[in-house]
């Protein structure tokens, strides 16, 4: 039912509507994200990693094993999470491209219906450079202008309260609200623990160092940015729950994105010798597009792929790493996830302590996947294997989302904003905006429907020609096409789950390839938004 023009009754931790004697609670929406996390780094699927809080979410909710990003880079996928539009439509089509500030967002819709809309943690909606017409708050020197950030908490991209930062690990981009928090905790020399900006000959940088077989960061463990996001998330939940305000809260963690650095005890939590990195099989790139084989070279020439403006491309470099290096990175990646999991546990405990767990839809996911040796690759790039496109995804609301269920229903990041609104809509009377391009997955999340979509579409655009690709994923197949190129990549995920055999030129898959290409065209047509309805014949 919809609840409109009614009298709100404020009780601790809830905003309710009363209509015809029926009380319907407006649920809180809590989106928790990591950054660049492989889909198999959950304890419920991988016995080598310890994630008790995420395992609890899987046990008390539903795990979606076929969830996909919309773009395997940060800014485009993160922009989609707040507006429900594909990157080609919302305008932030690559890292280094600003999300236009006039793009409508889900937070604005929530605010119009009585919600607080809050971002705590990483945003990455704007580039590390600021130019006329593309002004950015997420660049130097403003990142370290703490006086500015003390006075800035929004509004920003549909959030009426923002506490944000930009860096990963010990990068020089550190600053903003995270730096203010470190100073409030007594670490006034926090700059010494991050790469210097601007570079200086008297740099006091106390970067990570090797301790036995791994890198250790000397930053005080309790001041790590993962703890900052967790602490501020808990404080935000307490603030709005006790005020009786429903909230849409994005708790956005920075890890396990490289660089692979952690303070103790997390840096030594996992033994590199016990790690099982992904593998490359000799000859598997023989029938792949040419950029794949180049990653196997020690000094590859990728100059033909560079953008006209000279910008480099993620992943277009040598991926030669020793097995020892991969194992060490994997061990730290796992440590980063376990530290994040610790803070997720604190957040879940907070919901329990305040008595609002049943009134809160919790969704955990990430912005995109990650390579840790799979196909001989590391990190990310224009290599659309499942390791990069698939993402972990968990949803929980006690009594509303089935517990202990694993769903193979296809999920896409573009669906999340629309489904969040649907979850709140019964109590808030929310109409779905026509500019959103996802599908409503609410009945799938509640276990009332097997699926809401039969395809997912992933974009990746840098160079307008050679590195402009899109991938269509169906329940069994996936196919990648490149702009202005005669090659492509169909894979049979049922018969070849490790994606070792490109079927583009395989006559046995000719009919399947033709059907996939037609499905691709249909998907492009189906995802067109309808921002304004047609109201007249002319």
Q: pLDDT at residue 410 above 70? A: yes
Q: Which helix (H) or strand (E) holds 55?
A: helix 52-60
The reported pLDDT for the residue numbered 417 is 97
Confidence at residue 430, expressed as pLDDT on a 0 to 100 scale: 86
What pLDDT does 8 receive? 33
- CATH topology (fold) of 24-526: Alkaline Phosphatase, subunit A (3.40.720)
User: In this predicted structure, which of 54-58, 194-198, 250-254, 489-493 has the lowest mean pLDDT?
Assistant: 194-198
Residue 48 CA to residue 66 CA, distance in Å, equals 21
* 141, pLDDT greater than 60: yes
Among 8-12, 241-245, 254-258, 362-366, which stretch is predicted with the lowest mean pLDDT? 8-12
pLDDT at 204: 65
User: What's the mean pLDDT in 459-476?
Assistant: 90
HSE of 63, CA atoms in CB hemisphere, 13 A: 20
Lowest mean pLDDT across 216-230, 335-349, 426-440 = 426-440
Q: Please, what is the Cα angle at 118 between 442 and 109, to 5 degrees?
A: 50
pLDDT score of 93: 94
- Of 376, 372, 378, 371, the C-alpha closest to 281 is 376
Which run of H or of E encompasses 424?
helix 416-428
**The predicted structure's pLDDT at residue 198:** 76
Give me Rg for the CA atoms of the chain. 23
* pLDDT attached to residue 205: 67
3-state SS class at 18: strand
**Model confidence band, residue 201 (pLDDT cutoffs 50, 70, 90):** low
- How long a stretch of residues is the chain? 538
Please classify residue 530 by burial: count the beta carbons closer than 10 Å to its beta carbon, then call 0-12 exposed, 13-18 middle and 19+ buried.
exposed
What integer pLDDT is reported at residue 531 of this predicted model? 87
The reply to whether omega before 265 is within 30° of 0 (cis) is yes
Distance of CA 528 to the CA centre of its chain: 23
At residue 210 the predicted structure's pLDDT band, cuts being 50, 70 and 90, is low
Q: Which residue has the higher pLDDT, 397 or 535?
A: 397
Q: Are strands 405-407 and 67-68 parallel, antiparallel or unpaired?
A: unpaired
Residues 418-438: what's their mean pLDDT? 88
- Buried (b) or exposed (e) across 297-327, using 16+ Cβ within 10 A? eeebebeebbeeeeeebbbbbebebeeeebb
Distances (CA, A) of 140 to 28, 130, 196: 35, 9, 12
Helix axes 323-354, 225-242, angle to 10 degrees: 20
Give burial (CB, 10 Å; 0-12/13-18/19+) of 495.
exposed
Given pLDDT bands bounded at 50, 70 and 90, which one contains residue 152? very high
The label of the residue with tokens 């950054």 reads 35
Task: With H, G, I as helix, E, B as strand and everything else as coil, classify residue 284.
Answer: coil
**Is 1's pLDDT higher than 50?**
no
What does the pLDDT read at residue 426?
64
CA 340 to chain centre: 14
The more confident residue out of 371 and 14 is: 371
Write down the pLDDT at residue 425: 82
User: At residue 461, does pLDDT exceed 70?
Assistant: yes
Question: 53 by DSSP, 3-state: which?
Answer: helix
Q: What confidence category does residue 279 fall into, taking pLDDT thresholds of 50, 70 and 90?
A: very high
Omega of the bond leading into 141 within 30 degrees of 0 (cis): yes
What distances in angstroms separate CA 284 from CA 187, 370, 501, 502, one per listed residue?
50, 19, 7, 8
What is the rounded distance in angstroms from the CA atom of residue 425 to the CA atom of residue 2?
A: 7
| pLDDT (0 to 100) of residue 305 | 86
DSSP state of 473: E
**Cβ neighbour number for residue 470 with a 10 Å cutoff:** 20
Q: For residues 248 and 110, is the Cβ–Cβ distance under 8 A?
A: yes
Q: Which alpha helices (H) appear in 260-356, and where do they start and end? A: 290-294, 323-354
What SS3 class is residue 321?
A: coil
Do 235 and 244 meet the contact criterion of CB atoms below 8 Å apart? no
Sign of the alpha-carbon torsion through 311, 314, 319, 322 = positive
Quick one: pLDDT band at residue 16, thresholds 50, 70, 90? very low
What does pLDDT average to over the chain? 91
């Amino acid at each position: 039912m919809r609840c409109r023009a009614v009298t709100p009754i404020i009780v601790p931790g809830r905003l309710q509507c009363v209509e015809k004697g029926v009380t319907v609670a407006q649920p809180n929406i809590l989106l928790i994200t990591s950054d660049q996390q492989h889909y198999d780094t959950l304890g419920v699927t991988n016995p080598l990693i310890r994630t008790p809080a995420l395992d609890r979410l899987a046990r008390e909710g539903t795990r979606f094993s076929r969830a996909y990003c919309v773009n395997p880079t940060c800014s485009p996928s993160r922009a989609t999470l707040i507006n429900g539009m594909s990157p080609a439509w919302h305008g932030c089509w690559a890292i280094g491209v600003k999300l236009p500030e006039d793009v409508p967002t889900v937070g604005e819709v929530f605010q119009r219906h009585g919600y607080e809309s809050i971002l705590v943690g990483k945003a990455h909606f704007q580039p590390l450079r600021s130019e006329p017409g593309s002004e950015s708050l997420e660049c130097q020197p403003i990142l370290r202008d703490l006086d500015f950030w003390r006075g800035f908490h929004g509004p920003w991209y549909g959030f009426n309260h923002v506490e944000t930062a930009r860096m990963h690990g010990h990068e020089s981009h550190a600053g903003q609200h995270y730096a203010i928090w470190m100073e409030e905790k007594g670490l006034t020399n926090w700059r010494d623990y991050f790469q210097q900006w601007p570079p200086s000959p008297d740099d006091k940088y106390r970067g990570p160092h090797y301790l036995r077989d791994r890198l250790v960061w000397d930053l005080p463990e309790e001041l790590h940015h993962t703890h900052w996001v967790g602490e501020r998330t808990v404080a935000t939940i307490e603030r709005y729950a006790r005020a009786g305000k429903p909230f849409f809260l994005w708790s956005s963690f920075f890890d396990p994105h490289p660089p692979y650095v952690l303070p103790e005890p997390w840096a030594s939590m996992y033994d590199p010798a016990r790690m099982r990195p992904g593998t490359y099989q000799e000859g598997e790139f023989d029938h792949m597009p040419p950029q794949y084989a180049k990653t196997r070279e020690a000094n590859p020439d990728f100059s033909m792929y560079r953008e006209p403006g000279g910008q480099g491309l993620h992943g277009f470099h040598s991926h030669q790493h020793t097995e020892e290096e991969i194992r060490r990175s994997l061990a730290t990646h796992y440590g980063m996830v376990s530290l994040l999991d610790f803070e997720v546990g604190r957040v879940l405990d907070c919901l329990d302590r305040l008595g609002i767990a049943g009134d809160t839809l919790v969704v955990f996911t990430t912005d995109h996947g990650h390579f840790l040796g799979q196909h001989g690759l590391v990190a990310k790039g224009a290599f659309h294997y499942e390791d990069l496109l698939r993402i972990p995804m968990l949803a929980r609301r006690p009594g509303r989302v089935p517990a202990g269920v694993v769903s193979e229903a296809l999920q896409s990041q573009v669906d999340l904003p629309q489904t969040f609104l649907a979850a709140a809509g019964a109590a808030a009377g929310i109409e779905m905006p026509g500019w959103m391009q996802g599908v409503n997955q609410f009945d799938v999340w509640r276990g009332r429907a097997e699926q809401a979509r039969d395809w997912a579409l992933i974009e990746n655009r840098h160079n307008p020609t050679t590195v402009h690709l899109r991938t269509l994923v169906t329940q069994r197949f996936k196919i990648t096409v490149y702009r202005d190129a005669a090659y492509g990549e169909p894979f049979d995920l049922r018969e070849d789950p490790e994606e070792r055999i490109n079927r583009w030129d395989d006559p046995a898959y000719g009919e399947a390839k033709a059907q996939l290409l037609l499905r691709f065209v249909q998907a492009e047509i189906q995802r067109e938004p309808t921002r304004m309805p047609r109201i007249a014949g002319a």
